[in-house]
Structure 1
Amino acid sequence: MAGRRQPTALLEANGRKHLTEAEADARRDQEVYVASPEAAVPPRWLPKKLHKEFREIGEILLAAGLYSELDRDVLGQYFLARERWLRADKLASQAIRDKDETLAQKWASTQNTYFRQARQCAESMGLSVTARCRIVVPQALQNAGRAGPEDGADEFTRKLRARQAAALEAAE
């Protein structure tokens, strides 16, 4: 079974698939690129008290290259679900303190629903460790810039390392 289609730049960086210039150009023409916005602007429907935090996290995601305008609603839904989860947590805790098991059960169920919503949005935005681990960074790019330029290597290796270091800087 074939895996998910990977971007041409990733295929070239991995070095496992060798494409001709024509094949690479044809693949790039089929890829969809979305320009990153200059700033993370919260959606209008998001409560005003969540706007500051939206902008903070949005700027972090922008710097990491994980945010576009298309992600605005998902990030807003994350903050809304998290806010509702916190509210349900307080009400569940209050019901537990009052020893009202039925009400505590209902609020715990509601709390679980909001937690799942927040976690799903966080996963899709790269806000969790596991989601960030799924972001593919080619091993060649990670290691190339770390080696010293002059460690007894021949001319070809030095040029290759310089090229890989340039690609690593461009990727960051």
Structure 2
Amino acid sequence: MQKTTQAPQVSPAIPDPNAENAAWGAALVAEYQRRIGEKGATKTRRGRAARGVVLARQHYRMRCQGRMPVDSADSQSMFTEAVCDVLHYADGWYTASAVLDAAFVIHQAATPPALPEPAADPRTLEILASLVADLCMTAAAMFNVAVEDVADVAETDFLDDVDEARFNAVRAVRN
């Protein structure tokens, strides 16, 4: 067998199967930035929770495009799905655990940190973690669960999506 120094040929780029989730995450981040830029936006836990509820509901309704049962508008899954979409958006810049770890720091701060600069690059860890912290904290308070439980479900959903995409991409290349 002859030794080669060339890399094996790889098929053309495979479309990102999670691009739609990332796009929903990008839309949610943009809306978050718009809302924290509004006059009177507050960094208090109450302000963050109110913003988290509005953002999660809006995200859920947009994703469902009218197909949403009325009683599911306040389900815990609308929060975990929103967090999962933000993790898809962040993918490639930050790992899911980096975003969640930064969100926990914000959540656990004795005094809530200042809100991120609304005009900042939407891909900054500060923006992403702040949004995730607000969503997780709000869900935890609404459903009487630990913030870590909300984050764990979202991270598991994200990792399942990513692993499935990775598996399918590898399978397509190797077939």
Place the TM-score, normalised by the shorter chain, in its bin.
under 0.3
Q: Relative contact order (alpha carbons < 8 A, sep ≥ 6): 1 or 2 greater? A: 2
